[in-house]
Amino acid sequence: MSEQRDPYELRDGVPTVEDFRRLRTRAGLSDKAREAVELALPRTWHGVVLTHEGEPIGMGRVIGDGGTAFQIVDICVDPAHQGRGLGKRIMAALTEELERRAPATAYVSLIADGPARFLYEKFGFADTATHDSIGMYRLMGGRPGAA
Ligand SMILES: CC(C)(COP(=O)(O)OP(=O)(O)OC[C@H]1O[C@@H](n2cnc3c(N)ncnc32)[C@H](O)[C@@H]1OP(=O)(O)O)[C@@H](O)C(=O)NCCC(=O)NCCS
């Protein structure tokens, strides 16, 4: 009996600018300007790209100062491939690298959209609100919350 080959492959690195924008929008995340993505991708601390038969279908990145503060961003899996443990595979690779290279005092944060929180909880992430702090954000093009 021949063994079933895993069609998925996870590699270290970042996708191309085109793939990055396609992966985000296909997963329902907001698009980012081409120029912004061109600036951002080379500054990734650690990234992974998940491929299916060679085609990029998922990704995740860790950004940060390399010492004190890190953020997990751009976690997404193409909807056609969701629910197969691939998000867990991406998160496992990113947290493994953080455990390997980030100082013990490093603060790693992320914003969890909807049910993605259940994924992040599996990797030890906790809701900041239970520690009397809330996540805050501002979009440079406009101020959320402003009347
Ligand atoms: C979040 C996302 C990356 C998860 O990818 P995935 O490959 O479907 O996830 P997995 O199959 O590895 O599931 C991982 C865990 O996440 C949780 N989870 C994922 N989707 C869920 C859902 N819709 N409802 C509840 N829990 C969910 C489950 O706890 C699951 O673990 P389990 O199967 O052991 O119960 C994917 O759904 C996605 O790309 N969503 C759109 C983009 C997005 O929201 N990204 C996150 C931004 S913060």
The per-residue pLDDT string of the chain (147 residues; one tens digit each, 9 = 90 and over) reads 567 889 999 999 999 999 999 999 999 999 999 999 999 999 999 999 999 999 999 999 999 999 999 999 999 999 999 999 999 999 999 999 999 999 999 999 999 999 999 999 999 999 998 878 999 999 998 766 554
Is 136 part of a structural domain of the chain?
no
Mutate which of 21, 61, 82 for ligand 1 pocket (most atoms within 8 A of beta carbon) = 82
**Is there a domain that residue 137 lies in?**
no
Is residue 15 assigned to a domain?
yes
Domain range spanning residue 100?
8-127
Report residue 113 as tokens.
């959209």
Exposed/middle/buried for residue 57 (C-beta within 10 Å: 0-12, 13-18, 19+): buried
pLDDT of residue 92: 98
Lining residues, ligand 1, CB within 6 Å: 27-29, 75-77, 82-88, 111-113, 115-116, 118-119
Which atom of ligand 1 is found nearest the CA of 119? 16
CB 73 within 8 A of CB 110: yes
Residue 45 lies in a domain: yes
Structural domain count, the chain: 1
Supply the pLDDT for residue 147.
45
What pLDDT, on a 0 to 100 scale, did the predictor assign at position 143?
67
Residue whose CA lies nearest to ligand 1 atom number 31 = 119
- For residue 142, is it within any domain? no
Phi/psi of residue 130, each to 5°?
-75, -5
Q: Are 11 and 55 in contact (CB under 8 A)?
A: no
DSSP annotation of 142 reads: B
Inside any domain, residue 99? yes
Kindly report the CATH number assigned to the domain that includes residue 19: 3.40.630.30
In a domain, 147, yes or no: no
Residue 81 counted as domain residue? yes
